[in-house]
Amino acid sequence: MKAKIHKFEQNGEYILLDINSGAVHVIDKMIFDIMDIFDGGNDAEVMEKLSASYPKADLEEALSELHELMEAGELFAPDIDVPPTFKEKGLVKSLCLMVAQDCNLRCKYCFGDGGSYGQERAVMSPEVGCRAIDYMLENCGPFRKHFEVDFFGGEPLMNMKTVKAVAEHVHELEKAKGVQIKLTMTTNGMLLNDENIKWLNDNNVSVVISTDGRREVHDRMRPDAGGHGTYDKVMKNFKKFVDSRKGEHYYMRGTYTNENLDFTEDVLAMHDAGFDVLSMEPVVLKDSPLALREEHLPRIYEEYDRLTEAYLKRHREGKGFFFFHFNMDLSNGPCVAKRLSGCGAGHEYFAVAENGDLYPCHQFVGREGYKLGSIYDGITNKELPRYFRESHVLNKEKCRECWARFFCSGGCHANDDLFHGDIRKSYELGCELQKKRLECAIYVQAMLALEKMEQGEKVGEFTTAEGIR
Amino acid sequence: MKHIKTVNKPGLQKSLKTGGCGECQASCQSACKTSCTVGNQVCEK
Ligand code: SF4
Ligand code: SF4
């Protein structure tokens, strides 16, 4: 049976999530126990089974509170089984441009083979880049206003010629057509010099910067082509860069492997180094000595608990930081259609390879059988985009039943393909990490909300940072 | 309530009727892009 609720204990607090409404309740131990039995209508059974553990009057009171929640639509809300309301035909609303399939680092866990994606090292020409933007606007469907373009690689700063040409083209189109095209770039920071910094600031490019936290971890994992550590160089650049934009519109992200399962230290190292919009991601690798495996899970769960407490502690001391995965808006999250449509890879989000070929997303670039067409001929593979679009949580076997389905939106197709050769077969380890992080996030937001409620503010008014500030 | 504190005003069911405009940003979940689960997002409307 499809789960309707999910409950968990985190740091001595009991939390109940009503899956189909999204309501989050902080409950006591008695309600926690009742919810093992209660199905909405079996009050007598609850009374009978728990009468030895709790006073009768308390149980009655608890049950009446639960019925109150049901009436408010915040417990056992009805299943959501509607098909996504998004358009039938694939639309293009965001692109990832592989502007440089080449890189100046040799990160140990790189999925793109040092930026080349198993292909020749090559860079995208300005013509291909600009044509890709035209392609997006020609295929976006009617009346779309918001678009996103990500400069990716390899290392995008290695091809500023194309980046600049594309940005110029974007600004012209924004003026001419009244659209908004948000530009982002993901960079390793090696080439983040004064000139590039100024250009990125002048052109409103949001930037994701990569480091792995502690110096020794970073230097081990992210050497340059000659095998030298890069921590000092990139951190100096990042500092200058973030100061130059007054701490706005950036994200610092890292990757952890089985060599730093104590990654809380890395997150805190980033914060101590003066950065406060942070993320730390589990590496996704198959058959690698760095890979995360099932046997690491208990240790990783413990680490997320540590990170959660460290996060709250700094927050309560008035020197908090944003941690991407804890950053969740429990009241104003996206609509059901969005939650069902997931990442959009292959039907609203596409990656453009250096030569103009289209793939479902950056991770699929160069993967056998996943080329969808090109920016010149359009999507020639008609079947695959449909398959991607329909691979949402209601069609993925494991997701349909999973309590996290409306938060997670079905996981990463590329990971599913990597591990199972099928984008509808969930990558199990990813699911376990996802669910743990979600519990921590729900707990964090619940605690912060409670603290605000105690200070007299209304529920639903707490704030969270946007994706990239 | 004595045993339960509800900490949010959930909008999931309501959004079945009002949602679907599709103006929101893509939400890649892969590590290399800072996995953005939809749970992390806010609505653009
Ligand atoms: S991908 Fe995994 S965690 Fe996410 S909804 Fe599906 S089964 Fe649940
Ligand atoms: S398939 Fe995975 S890597 Fe690709 S866009 Fe979706 S979540 Fe991101």
Tens digits of per-residue pLDDT, A232-270?
999 999 999 999 999 888 999 999 999 999 999 999 999
Q: According to DSSP H, which parts of A273-412 are helical?
A: 297-316, 336-341, 383-390, 397-401, 405-408
Q: According to DSSP H, which parts of A289-404 are helical?
A: 297-316, 336-341, 383-390, 397-401
CB A397 within 8 A of CB A407: no
Atom of ligand 1 nearest to the CA of A432: 3
Ligand nearest to C-alpha A152: 2
Classify residue A386 by burial, with Cβ atoms within 10 Å: 0-12, 13-18, 19+. middle
Query: For an interface test with A, which of B1, B12, B13, B43 has the most A Cβ atoms less than 10 Å from its Cβ?
Result: B12
Task: Specify the 3-state DSSP secondary structure of A219.
Answer: helix
Task: Specify the 3-state DSSP secondary structure of A294.
Answer: helix
Asked if the Cβ–Cβ distance from A26 to B18 is below 8 Å, we say: no
pLDDT number for residue A342: 79
Report strand pairing: A322-323 vs A277-282: parallel
Q: How far is CA A370 from the centre of its chain?
A: 23
Atom of ligand 1 nearest to the CA of A438: 3
How far is B34 from A249, CA to CA, in rounded Å?
14
Ligand 2 centroid–CA A48 distance in Å is 49
Asked if the Cβ–Cβ distance from B29 to A343 is below 8 Å, we say: yes
Query: For an interface test with B, which of A24, A59, A111, A343 has the most B Cβ atoms less than 10 Å from its Cβ?
Result: A343
* A77 inside 8 A of chain B by CB: yes
The per-residue pLDDT for range B5-41, each reduced to its tens digit, is: 999 988 888 888 777 777 777 777 766 665 454 545 5
CB A342 within 8 A of CB B38: yes
Q: Is the CB of A392 under 6 A from ligand 2?
A: no
Task: Specify the 3-state DSSP secondary structure of A426.
Answer: coil
How far is A401 from A291, CA to CA, in rounded Å?
27
Task: Specify the 3-state DSSP secondary structure of A460.
Answer: coil
Task: Specify the 3-state DSSP secondary structure of A11.
Answer: coil
How far is A36 from A27, CA to CA, in rounded Å?
13
The partner residue sitting opposite A343, judged by closest CB among B9, B28, B39, is: B28
Tokens representing A468 are 């990239």
Ligand nearest to C-alpha A350: 2
Ligand nearest to C-alpha A434: 1
Q: How far is CA B26 from the centre of its chain?
A: 13
* A416 inside 8 A of chain B by CB: no
Side chain identity, residue A3: A
Tell the residue nearest (CA) to atom 2 of ligand 1.
A431
* B17 inside 8 A of chain A by CB: no
Asked if the Cβ–Cβ distance from A69 to B4 is below 8 Å, we say: yes
The per-residue pLDDT for range A161-205, each reduced to its tens digit, is: 999 999 999 999 999 999 999 999 999 999 999 999 999 999 999
Chain B residues touching residue A345 (CB < 8 angstroms): 28
The partner residue sitting opposite B27, judged by closest CB among A20, A68, A343, is: A343
Look at residues A247, A244, A261 and name the one whose alpha carbon lies nearest to residue A321: A247
Residues comprising chain B, all counted = 45
Asked if the Cβ–Cβ distance from A91 to B22 is below 8 Å, we say: yes
Q: What is the ipTM of this complex?
A: 0.85
The torsion angle over the Cα atoms of residues A122, A127, A129 and A132, rounded to 10 degrees, is: -120
* A33 inside 8 A of chain B by CB: no
How far is A271 from A208, CA to CA, in rounded Å?
15
pLDDT number for residue A466: 38
Spatial neighbors of A243 by CB under 8 A, at least 6 apart, are: none
Chain B residues touching residue A74 (CB < 8 angstroms): 6, 10
pLDDT number for residue A465: 39
Atom of ligand 2 nearest to the CA of B32: 3
pLDDT average per 10 residues of sequence, chain A (469 residues): 89 97 97 97 97 97 98 94 58 92 91 68 94 96 87 94 98 95 94 97 93 97 95 98 92 95 98 95 93 97 98 96 90 81 88 96 91 96 91 88 89 94 94 96 96 75 40
Closest-CA distance of chain A to residue B1, Å: 7
Tokens representing A277 are 């919009």
CB neighbours (10 Å) of residue A96?
27
Q: Is the CB of A19 under 6 A from ligand 1?
A: no
Q: Is the CB of A408 under 6 A from ligand 1?
A: yes
> CA separation (Å) from A302 to A305, A309, A314?
5, 11, 19
Asked if the Cβ–Cβ distance from A348 to B1 is below 8 Å, we say: no
